[in-house]
Amino acid sequence: MTPDDHPVVGAVPGVRGLYLAAGFSGHGFMHSPAIAQLVVEEMLDGKARTLDIRDLSLERFITGRRPFTATVL
């Protein structure tokens, strides 16, 4: 788990070719097909195209950017 309870997905700043998909708690197995697609899109195209994953970047801890607010129904 991460300090803000959201996973880290995407490129690691300053380390070319290193991508993360971590911090999902018990949901990782369930989300893995979609996350794999998004990470591959970022690897090939420079950004994920299916969904915007910028809010899940590792940089959010450096810049103070807050991920989206989770909605519970």
pLDDT digits (tens, 9 = 90+) for 47-72: 999 999 998 999 998 888 776 666 56
Q: CA 7 to CA 5: how far, in whole Å?
A: 7
Q: CA 15 to CA 61: how far, in whole Å?
A: 16
Q: Are 61 and 3 in contact (CB under 8 A)?
A: yes
> What secondary structure does DSSP assign to 42-73, as a single string?
HHHHSS-SSS--GGGSTTHHHH-PPPPPP---
Task: State the pTM of this model.
Answer: 0.81
What percent of the chain is modeled with pLDDT above 90? 58
pLDDT digits (tens, 9 = 90+) for 4-52: 888 999 999 999 999 999 998 877 788 899 999 999 999 999 999 999 9
Q: What is the pLDDT of residue 65?
A: 79
Q: CA 4 to CA 26: how far, in whole Å?
A: 16
Q: CA 68 to CA 19: how far, in whole Å?
A: 21
